[in-house]
Amino acid sequence: MSATLDVLALPREAQDLLFREARTASVFTAEPVTDDQLRAVHDLVKWGPTGVNSQPLRVVYLRGEQARARLLPHMNEGNRDKTAKAPLTAILASDADFHEHLPRTFPVVPGIRDAFAANPDRAEVAKVSALLQAGYFIIGVRAAGLAAGPMAGFDAEGVRREFFEGTARTPLVVVNIGHPDPERYYPRNPRLDFDEVATVL
């Protein structure tokens, strides 16, 4: 294990912050998450690659009591209490209308906006890159010294209607964000080994 650590260019402290010691959090301290932190996370992870630089991830941050009350009924029961108590909750969604930005974000192919406007698989294309970005986002939250608690257990159609009606946006993942209470982590679950998930041909 320690042999493989030295193979990486990323310093060990950064490895620990982002992956090895970072944990999914369900319980947070009362310390708030600031708008400066949200902007810093964005300014970092926006550089992660997406298909044709499409950047389809959209984020709705719920901080206020009233905003959160709109989300809670759509969360699975097991996710409701921790979502109610987190300092901040982010709804990560993909935008099937990402192509409207392409003339500015991918100018190298001039006709690409119109090609995607006619593409029936556009929502699926958006979902793939938005989920890559969701991965970068979770790493970015940890880069800010915060903990993320990502959840897939919610009524996606209910969240869509509540927050995204009239748009081409679809919610993918809901993430609680805050300063973790390390004494309240669950035991860490085992990971699959390299040889269980990888084949070298």
Minimum CB distance to a second copy, residue 114 (Å): 18
| Sole binder of a second copy in the list 8, 32, 114, 184 (CB under 8 A) | 8
CA–CA dist 70, 104 (Å, integer): 34
Task: Find the binding residues for a second copy in span 133-152 (CB under 8 A).
Answer: 133-136, 138-139, 142-145, 148, 150, 152
Task: Find the binding residues for a second copy in span 44-103 (CB under 8 A).
Answer: 44-49, 51, 53, 55, 57-64, 67, 101
Query: What's the one-letter identity of residue 96?
Result: A
> Which residues, in sequence order, are CB contacts of 186 under 8 Å at separation 6+?
24, 26
Q: Is 123 in the site for a second copy (CB under 8 A)?
A: no
> Which one of the spans 43-51, 79-87, 111-119, 177-185 is the region binding a second copy (CB under 8 A)?
43-51
> Which one of the spans 79-87, 112-120, 132-140, 176-184 is the region binding a second copy (CB under 8 A)?
132-140
Neighbours of 63 (CB within 10 A): 15
Side-chain-side CA neighbours of residue 179 (13 Å): 7
Minimum CB distance to a second copy, residue 191 (Å): 4
Q: Is 26 in the site for a second copy (CB under 8 A)?
A: no
> Which residues, in sequence order, are CB contacts of 190 under 8 Å at separation 6+?
none
CA–CA dist 38, 99 (Å, integer): 25
CA–CA dist 33, 15 (Å, integer): 23
| Sole binder of a second copy in the list 104, 165, 166, 183 (CB under 8 A) | 104
